[in-house]
Amino acid sequence: MLGLTGGIAAYKSAELCRLLIKDGFDVRVVMTQAASRFITPATMQALSGQLVHTDLWDETIPNAMGHIDLSRDRDLIVVAPASADFIGKLAGGLADDLLSTLCMARECPLLVAPAMNRQMWESPATRRNIDRIVEDGVIVLGPASGDQACGETGMGRMLEPEELYAEILASMQPKLLNGVRVLITAGPTFEPIDAVRGITNRSSGRMGYAVAQAALEAGAQVTLVSGTTALAPPSKARLVRVVTAEEMLKAVEAEVANSDVFIAVAAVADYRVAKPNSQKMKKSDQTLSLELVPVADILATVSNRPNPPFCVGFAAESHNLDTFAEEKRKKKKLPLLAANLAQTAIGAADNELILFDDDGRHPLPRGAKLAQARGLIRHLAKLYKRDRKTALKAVRP
């Protein structure tokens, strides 16, 4: 159920409805009278393909208890935009119109996307109301900061339709890792040659960030140790920024004792320059030789701890994928390893992972990296649950 309240951001809800319908969702729209001042019910009816309901006493509702039943067959209610007034109703338990009544009588999760002037968003009353509905289990999406219709700039702008769509999909993922503490590395490392040059690789960080997002969707508490990328990290992840492999190792060692699962997605340099120059080296016609020394293997360091977390590795190979991936998994004593061909995955928006565990190989169909990450997390959760049960049996007298 898509609910619209009064606000200029209601125009974005038309695009959100279109995105949901395009992906096969059955969308029922309910609008407040104020919302109908900004966008017409006819528009939302055309996009959703269903009658739009606006009135608590609407005679088109087929059931006498329609003000309750309209939400009973829904998997999710999303109110976007959610005005300050409507959020206040939710916080106070008021139900004086159709949408607020349906939200009160729901049997499914409720997501709200606030949209209001920056001063309204920052007011003590709104802050209290947001805190109250969050305590009641309502999921608040946004808001964002930016230009507002009133001409001011600040917090209170509703998230864009694509962002809301992604959040809706995320909210519907099963909570397979609820409360599990997950530590993830992502992105490339950079090993300096001099003050401006260095050794790095083409990793964009997309896969690691997708795994972090998928773990969050599954209910995990995520710490993301990231090399330098151009990506915005998942908003609910705890981010630790690093540059070099040595910095990444130190960051991981500082966090791993408080982690249940460690997923090493980062493309860590295998070598570093033995003696990097603190100043920029001037170009010359002479041949330059660099002495390279191996860097510490972060994944092996973690997997060889006395009581390691559940460790997941990644392998990007250019050939002999299955052979090299399984060799790496066994050498590092990993319960799970995800592998792909480097030439088709690094820097790309999609991927094709093959998961290797003690039961064999499990290919995931090629798709967007977030879809691949969700598949990985589902498989990981199954193995992690089995691993915990085995460990529990081992310590029982």
Residues with Cβ within 8 Å of 388's Cβ and at least 6 positions away in sequence, in order, are none
Tell me if 89 sits within 8 A of 118, measured CB to CB: no
Nearest Cα to Cα of residue 77 among 37, 45, 113, 47: 113
Distance in angstroms (rounded) separating the CA atoms of residues 227 and 36? 47
Beta strands 29-31 and 310-317 are unpaired
Whether 228 and 188 have beta carbons less than 8 Å apart is answered as yes
Helix (H, G, I), strand (E, B) or coil at 37: helix
Tokens of 363: 């290919």
108 assigned to active site: no
The whole-angstrom separation of Cα 143 and Cα 153 is 13
Of 108, 3, 116, 105, the C-alpha closest to 54 is 3
CA 212/CA 50 separation, integer angstroms: 37
Neighbours of 46 (CB within 10 A): 12
Please identify which of the residues 17, 103, 108, 150 carries the catalytic annotation: 150
| Three-state secondary-structure class, residue 319 | coil
The structure tokens 């590395």 sit at 185
Q: How many H helices and E strands in the chain?
A: 14, 21
φ and ψ of 68, to 5 deg: -110, -45
In DSSP terms, 362 is beta-bridged to 355
* Cβ neighbours of residue 35 closer than 8 Å, sequence gap 6 or more: 4, 5, 6, 7, 10, 54
Quickly list DSSP for 76-128: -EEEEEE-HHHHHHHHHT---SHHHHHHHT-SS-EEEEE---HHHHHSHHHHH
**Cβ proximity of 190 and 199 under 8 Å:** yes
The number of CA neighbours under 13 Å toward the Cβ of 150 is: 13
d(CA 313, CA 333) in angstroms, rounded, equals: 10
Cβ atoms of 44 and 31 closer than 8 Å: yes
Cite the active site residues.
Answer: 150
